[in-house]
């Protein structure tokens, strides 16, 4: 390790909170940190790069299992990227499904707003739609 710095430095450098860094060490995404004579965790640029990778993957919505696999692949750069591609494709599919669900939700909300008579609550389509007893249809029925 070229430069040794504290967990606070690593947190500031990567924007990842200290408890999250400790958690990533605990679950094995980050290697256990070296310790100073006083027992303080010590980190260097390699750990900062790895943590930045994890943070970016989390921002893209990858779960910890996928991140673990991607890190393993990163550690073995000679192999094909087939597995990384499959992980990214699966995440893309999840995002596309989420977008479709949000578009259906948006359409439902637009219908509610457009149907609102702007009169009394007794004729309000927003209230009527939300109070409907049949919850088996609509954009969120799958959930």
3-state SS class at 39: coil
138: alpha, beta or left? (left if phi > 0; alpha if psi -120 to 50): left
| The pLDDT of residue 140 | 56
pLDDT along the chain (143 residues), means of 10: 78 94 95 87 92 96 96 92 96 97 92 75 75 62 51
CATH number of 1-79: 1.10.1660.10
pTM across the whole model: 0.75
| Alpha-carbon gap, residue 103 to 126, rounded angstroms | 18
Domain ranges of the chain: 1-79, 93-143
Q: Which of 35, 39, 143, 51 is nearest to 98 (CA)?
A: 143
* Cα Rg of the chain (Å, integer): 24
The confidence score (pLDDT) of residue 136 equals 59
Quick one: pLDDT at residue 65?
Answer: 96
Helix or strand (DSSP H, E) at 42: strand 41-42
């Amino acid at each position: 390790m070229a430069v040794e710095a504290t967990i606070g430095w690593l947190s500031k450098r990567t924007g990842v909170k200290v408890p999250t860094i400790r958690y990533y060490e605990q679950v094995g995404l980050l290697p256990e940190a070296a310790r100073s004579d006083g027992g303080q965790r010590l980190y260097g640029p390699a750990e900062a790069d790895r943590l930045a990778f994890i943070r970016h993957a989390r921002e893209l919505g990858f779960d910890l299992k996928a991140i673990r696999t991607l890190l393993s692949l990163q550690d073995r750069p000679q192999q094909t990227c087939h597995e990384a591609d499959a992980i990214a494709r699966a995440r893309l599919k999840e995002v596309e499904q989420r977008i479709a669900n949000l578009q259906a939700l948006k359409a439902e909300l637009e219908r509610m707003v457009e149907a609102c008579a702007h009169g009394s609550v007794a004729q309000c389509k927003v209230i009527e739609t939300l109070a409907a007893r049949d919850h088996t249809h609509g954009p969120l029925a799958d959930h």
